[in-house]
Amino acid sequence: MTAIKAITFDLWDTIVADDSDEVERASRSLRTKYAERRQLIYEAVNSAQPIESSVVTLAADVADAAFNHVWHTQYVTWTVGQRVDVILNGLKRSLPAEVRQRLISELESMEVDIPPDLIDGCEPALAELSSRYRLAVISDAIVTPGRLLRRLLEKHGVKQYFEGFAFSDEVGYSKPHRAMFESAAEQLDVPLEGIVHIGDREHNDVRGAHAQGSKAILFTATRAADRQGSEADAVCDSYDALPGIISNIT
């Protein structure tokens, strides 16, 4: 049996609480992320040629559905630029290059400008674990690209603990594709069998890791939907318990 030498972490609902930033947005009387994204797209398209906002919303919803289909069936996450172009193609519109790029930048940066919350106990647990294991992040990039997810981790003071980053927009595939796990293993210079992966999704994180020969821990601190019947090597409800659980696995 290969000893555990490294730990990889999902990001959303494992390091940060997905959509916890909506609370801060509401406290500032800002639109939800869903509504704000559609407003930004509408303003950009309307500035080039007048259009009904409801038409833009429909095009954005259709593009999101197409994105989700490709994500879940082909394990690919389109970049924000690709998603914008799908919307524009559906509307049979185009944007000046500078307007298109500004729109992309505004959409990409929303979750960094107002970041989701770090999950309780994450930082001290990472500090402890990084003294014993090599750490990496394996995360799908849905709207926020990898280069800005690094900035998000830095804003929360935890980027320093990670030696590797496998983001789907950079790898070219999303979890549970083998390329994501291989990228992290190569960056950490450890075999896949020497990794335990931690995440909140049974299909992407637990089965994805197991398919590569890695161990897997289902993390349920903020999302426990997959807890019942999980095939994970262990289930973890809080960061306080994580170091001990990993020690028992190894």
- Domains of the chain with CATH codes: 6-20+117-249 (3.40.50.1000), 21-113 (no CATH)
Asked whether the beta carbons of 52 and 66 are under 8 A apart, the reply is no
What is the per-residue burial (b if ≥16 Cβ within 10 Å, else e) of 118-148? bbeebbebbeebbeebbbbbbbbbbbbbbeb
Give strand ranges (E) for the chain.
Answer: 6-9, 134-139, 164-167, 195-199, 215-219, 234-236
Residue in 112, 177, 176 with CA at minimum distance from that of residue 147: 112
Tell me the HSE value of 145 on the side-chain side, using a 13 A CA sphere.
17
Asked whether the beta carbons of 246 and 135 are under 8 A apart, the reply is no
Structure confidence at residue 198 (pLDDT): 98
Structure confidence at residue 1 (pLDDT): 62
C-beta neighbour count of 51 within 10 angstroms = 15
Structure confidence at residue 141 (pLDDT): 97
Give CA–CA dist 15/151, Å, rounded. Answer: 14
237-to-2, 43, 118, 205 alpha-carbon distances in Å: 26, 43, 15, 16
| Positions of the chain with pLDDT lower than 50, given as ranges | none
Dihedral of the CA atoms 85, 86, 92, 94 (nearest 10)? -10
3-state SS class at 18 = coil
* DSSP 8-state code for residue 229: T
Structure confidence at residue 249 (pLDDT): 87
Give CA–CA dist 97/3, Å, rounded. Answer: 51
Residue in 130, 145, 89, 128 with CA at minimum distance from that of residue 240: 128
Give CA–CA dist 11/79, Å, rounded. Answer: 18
The model's pLDDT over 28-84, given as tens digits with 9 standing for 90+, comes to 999 999 999 999 999 999 999 999 999 999 999 999 999 999 999 999 999 999 999
For the beta sheet containing 6-9, the strands, ordered from the edge strand earlier in sequence to the opposite edge, are: 164-167, 134-139, 6-9, 195-199, 215-219, 234-236
